[in-house]
Structure 1
Amino acid sequence: MAKPDIHGAIYRIRRKGAHKVKDPRGRFLDAARLTPAALARHLDDARPVVRSG
């Protein structure tokens, strides 16, 4: 991976052929309307931002 001469940059690396995640930050989750049981199901979500809620 070639790195530009910019210090402090954040690199987001993805494998070739990896699928794109729909709604990676969970912005379309309507958490205010979900029941506690439905919210609990998101505790083991693959998306780190959704898990940390």
Structure 2
Amino acid sequence: MHRNNVHDSTRQKELMVFCFLSRKNRILNKTFSSSVISFAVAASSSWARISTLVSCL
């Protein structure tokens, strides 16, 4: 019983840290998602070039 409580408190701390980090990274995530979208647009427009690049890797 005691072990479960310790585990729960550890999970709560992890969630708190995760929420804190996600709050800090919200601006960064917006920048990242916009760059991902622009990359997807560029990839769809030049898919043959990227598939060639991937096959070379």
**TM-score scaled by structure 2?**
0.23
**TM-score scaled by structure 1?**
0.24
Indicate the structure whose relative CO is greater, using CA pairs within 8 Å and at least 6 residues apart: 1
Q: Quick check: which has more Rg, 1 or 2? A: 2
Larger helix fraction of residues: 2
